[in-house]
Amino acid sequence: MGWASCAATGLGALPGNDPREAARIVAGELTDCPHLPELPDRGPGADPIGRTCSLLPMTDFGLETTPTGWRITGGDTKVMRRAVSLRNEDADELQEQLQGYRGPIKAQVVGPWTLAAGIELSGGERVLRDPGACRELAAALADACTTYIGELQRRFPHCDVLLQVDEPALPAVLTGTIGTASGLSRYRAVEASVMEGALRTVLAAAQAAGAWTIAGCPGVQVPVRLLVAAGAQGLEIDLVDRLVSDEDLGWAWEQGLGLLAGSVQPTWALDGRPITDTRASQAIRDAAHRLGLHDQRYMAQVLVTPTHGMAALTPDRVRAVYAACRSARRALLDERGEGGSDDD
């Protein structure tokens, strides 16, 4: 795995528009697995799709904004230059905060099928309509991830890079439930083998570049077997809302996959009361007992996370959620008899 023992991290999205404050929160609260902050409140280019597309070659995949999102256009655009600038600013601030840090560090990108479902071709239909364009987009993303991982390795030379590939649209693409531009029909469902192939292209490139890869479908039921077949080394799963079947979860856990285990609901921080370590770790402990995985070595495969991004919270409440993730980590380590501090 990309980490040595049970750890705590975040999923990406944080509130506000101050990258320095975001970097301080991450570096201060997530001392055993920080992540690259994302600040979507800054607008187009700071959103997940725009941020990921800022990694692509603009000669082939320059983007412009439309009333419905993003559209491919020829060449460089102002909004994409801004996206590159924002991403670099975020990395600069975190690099400054993590001087001397040694350990795993996580970055996030949107996967090829969510990009294909979220970006329009010049005629207004989604990339999803054109199988050739989907293949080209996946190949470009694979190359972009290779370059991006190299950049992170230079910025953080003593860190192991974890790459989280988010595919929230993947189940809808698989079942053919995404509507066309006219709204009168839906795009044809994509075969599982085709989906696996495109995602495998991206994950394999990231692994070849030296990253450890995690895949997930935030906010929807996770197609565990498909993600594992595509080569994911870890899975991002919301255990509070149980967006995965016990059969698939147990199979993946026993296979030795890493788990970004969503165990803390960000809304729990809204009442201002501390989130106990029992509550913070409950979903993980319940899953382990439900599945009969009583050997605590399985907890070493876990990265404790919030269940979703936290762009809607205040910075103080983000800190409370991250403190709860650390508390859950501590509770799980105590069950293993390891104890330890937040700074292990």
Q: Is residue 71 part of a domain?
A: no
Q: Write the pLDDT tens digit of every residue in 271-292.
A: 888 899 999 999 999 999 999 8
Which H or E run includes 136?
helix 131-155
If one counts every other C-beta atom within 10 angstroms of the C-beta of residue 38, the result is 25
121-165 tens-digit pLDDT = 988 999 999 999 999 999 999 999 999 999 999 999 999 999 999
Q: Is 163 helix (H, G, I), strand (E, B) or coil?
A: strand
What local confidence, expressed as pLDDT, does residue 261 receive? 96
Domain count for the chain? 1
Three-state DSSP at 162 gives strand
- Report pLDDT for 336: 55
**Distance between CA atoms of residues 113 and 118, nearest Å:** 8
323 in a structural domain: yes
Residue 148 lies in a domain: no
Q: 4 in a domain, yes or no? A: yes
Convert the pLDDT of each residue in 175-196 to its tens digit. Answer: 999 999 888 899 999 999 999 9
CA 226 vs CA 90, 196, 212: distances in Å: 32, 6, 18
Cβ count within 10 A of residue 185: 9
Task: Give the amino acid at 137.
Answer: L
3-state secondary structure (DSSP) of residue 252: helix
- The answer to whether 271 and 322 have CB atoms below 8 angstroms apart is no
Locate tokens 């979860």: which residue? 249
pLDDT of residue 344: 41
Reduced to 3 states (helix: H, G, I; strand: E, B; else coil), residue 95 is helix
For 23, 27, 148, 330, the CA distances from 101, given in Å and listed in that order, are 13, 9, 20, 20
| Prediction pTM value | 0.94
- DSSP character at residue 238: E
**309: containing domain:** 1-19+247-338
Is residue 318 a part of any domain in this protein?
Answer: yes
Report how far residue 294's alpha carbon sits from residue 149's, in angstroms, rounded to the nearest whole number: 36
User: Which is it for the CA torsion 210, 3, 39, 201, positive or negative?
Assistant: positive
- Strands 258-264 and 212-216, sheet pairing: unpaired
Identity (one letter) of the amino acid at 295?
A: D
Residue 31 belongs to a domain: no
The reported pLDDT for the residue numbered 58 is 81
Element (H, E) at 24: helix 19-29
Task: Return the half-sphere exposure (C-beta side, CA atoms, 13 A cut-off) of residue 264.
Answer: 34
Instruction: Report if residue 7 sits inside a domain.
Output: yes
Alpha-carbon 127 to chain mean position: 22
The per-residue pLDDT for 271 is 84
pLDDT at 335: 67
Q: Which amino acid is at 115?
A: L
Residue ranges for the chain with pLDDT beneath 70? 294-295, 335-344
Q: Which residues pair with 77 in a beta bridge?
A: none
Confirm whether 130 is domain-assigned: no
Alpha-carbon span 55 to 202, nearest angstrom: 13
Q: Which of 48, 66, 53 is nearest to 181 (CA)?
A: 66
Between CA 5 and CA 217 the distance in angstroms is: 24
- Whole-number pLDDT of residue 101: 94
